[in-house]
Amino acid sequence: MKTLKLIFCVCFAFLGLSFAQDVSKPRTLEGLVKQEDDFYKFLKKNHPIFKYQKEGRVIGEIRLSDRKEEFMEISGGPLFAKDNGLEHTAVTYRLPFESFLDLPNKFVGPKKCGECHPAQYKAWERSRHAKVVRFPHELTEIGGDMKKPLYNSQATALPKGIEASDVFVMIGTPRTKYGFIDNWLVRGTYHVENGSFGKLTGNLVAGGNQFSRFWAEFLTPEKAKQIASFVPNFPTTMPEFGGSGSYVWGINSYAATYRKKMIFQPASAYCETCHTFKFDFKSKDELYKALGNSKELQKHTISKGISCEECHGAGAHLYGARGAGMPSNCERCHQRFVYNEEDAKLNPKKPFNSYFKSANPACGTEGAQMYSSAHYDKGIRCSTCHDPHEVTSNDWKDPYTKTALKKTCQDCHATQASFFQKGGIHAKDNCTSCHMPNMMSCEDFSAIQTPDFGGFDNVRAAHIWNIKVDKTAKTLNPPKGKERSSQVKGWTIARDEEGKFFIDLMWSCGRTSASDINLVGPGASGCHSAVQSTLPKKLHFTNQEMIYDKVMEWQNPVKEGYTKIITGIKKIDKTLADKPKLAVDKKSKVLLLTKKAEEIAEKLEKDGSWGVHGPAYSKKIIDEALTYIQDAQNILK
């Protein structure tokens, strides 16, 4: 029997059908974590960072991070596992179908999928999903010149001492940033002073590792001073950025504290969860031999980016891979949770909050936010509105995203849309302008995250929708009793009386974002941002109280009018009950007029904005309803 099994395996290997694991058995969390051990040992023995360290040429402390930490130990995972009788729990990250350490694998690459699925391939190929992992020479938007100063700054796509030959892939697009994974498949959290990484010369320095379009183009020293005029202690010089800063404006320190700390983390532990890539090596030995040689790694790369097989499984239906046929796997990258005991007490059905790196929700938490929304409870999921193949409708090189949608807000919210269509000061805006503000951050740049002012490191749209009209209630909050400072860890999204997440008025109306299409897209006014708005100065909102007072100017008259309608209808009903012998023709007229007034009241209730969606139109239909009521009362008199 053993001989037959050996022959069977050899035949499969000969035919190119061998694979790393027995797919008849499920992949386990423990197995995934343990899989990294050999790779980690190899890197600790061979990666240049440790040679620099041995020779005393490292500026900053090196902290080691691995899969065990990222998948099992963070975000309350051990606590949730204990409370629920589980061995381990991956709270923030999802288990991938395959890792780049699974060798050999069954990946065929997106072009093979495109042979039979051209429409889906074309939509995907022009989206940011296809561009978030690229070889240095593929950065066509900068002509492949990794040392070219960008956006009128001195910042370059790669930091000092790091050349294209030192890099396996670049992470990011011109919408936000450029980071790098080095040619040892380790996250680039460093730069080199007075030397070259490839030549092992100079000093390896913590941080100063990532280009940021936001810092280079928008958050200039002049813009920082403008923000500091209404945001206390906002940094205006590079030293004031502290650990987030760098040696030049436009490059920052991510997963590192400038000149103090850096993380040593294989791409298998973190990056590949969302910024994926796969090789066609036949064994780990082949992979290990290629490490340190970017060209060799690139030559053997069969797939990169969020491509077909990351959602549909390696080889998909061509091989019958794990997960073959799944319509999507959005949650793997877009549902990053934190287990929170306070949330579990407030709403036992929803014991998870959004993952935070500092004071803003982290990137990839769209699904975690949606989880505590009315939309989620009604069965709406990512693919309800999004086509996973076509996530980017506009040019991927733009600084903002226009999302391709297969379902829009007005498809379900016709009443609200009708108020907008009747004109008014917000008639030209999209629903997302107020209900989906850019709130999430891709980084942990606490120096510039100021949630109470709706800024400023916020590059992705919130998926909460529910706006709470309140003078002081805040969406984002530090732990109870802690200072409202972005330096404090453990921030969470607040819940309303029904246990749902909500958006406060500052985020809805007064935020600042350099990548929010509603603020910076074609024809946009910058809404009410005190930094970006082109509206009159009196409409530049620097605090939530200003916005609340303006909203009350719209809502109070509408709510008062609505109360009059309801009160009038009740009086008519009572009068009708006291006049059983009222003539039929008069009674029918009264009932018809009352019904028209009731329909208007129901329309105002269903709209739910109490005048914000259409102030003038709301007042108009209130006057109409009150006229019906007056006519009915005159008949009854």
The domain ranges of the chain are: 29-312, 337-542, 548-636
Span 548-636: which CATH code?
Answer: 1.20.140
pLDDT for residue 322: 61
Closest by Cα among 571, 564, 572, 577 to 590: 572
477 burial level (CB within 10 Å; 0-12, 13-18, 19+): middle
CA angle 179, 297, 36 (to 5 degrees): 75
Locate the DSSP E strands across 419-558.
438-440, 449-450, 455-456, 460-461, 476-477, 492-493
pLDDT for residue 23: 58
pLDDT for residue 178: 97
Q: What is the mean pLDDT of each run of 10 residues along the chain (637 residues)?
A: 43 39 74 94 98 98 96 94 93 85 94 95 93 96 93 96 98 95 98 98 98 94 95 94 94 96 97 94 97 98 93 82 64 92 83 95 96 95 90 91 92 94 86 96 91 94 97 96 93 94 98 95 94 95 96 97 98 94 94 97 97 94 98 94
* Cβ atoms 124, 130 nearer than 8 A: yes
Provide the token pair at 386.
Answer: 């999004």
- CA dist 244 and 631 (Å) reads 67
Secondary structure (3-state) at 393: coil
Provide the token pair at 345.
Answer: 């007490």
Residues 6+ apart with CB under 8 A from 7: none
Tell how strand 352-354 and strand 337-339 pair up: antiparallel
What pairs with residue 505 in β-bridges?
Answer: none
Provide the token pair at 311.
Answer: 């959602």
Q: At what angle do helices 615-636 and 544-578 cross, to 10 degrees?
A: 20
Residues 6+ apart with CB under 8 A from 278: 98, 100, 105, 107, 301, 302, 303, 304, 309, 314
- CA dist 302 and 279 (Å) reads 5
pLDDT for residue 416: 95
pLDDT for residue 345: 83
Q: Per-residue pLDDT tens for 524-583?
A: 999 999 999 999 999 999 999 999 999 999 999 999 999 999 999 999 999 999 999 899
Provide the token pair at 433.
Answer: 């302008």
Provide the token pair at 19.
Answer: 């694979």
221 burial level (CB within 10 Å; 0-12, 13-18, 19+): exposed
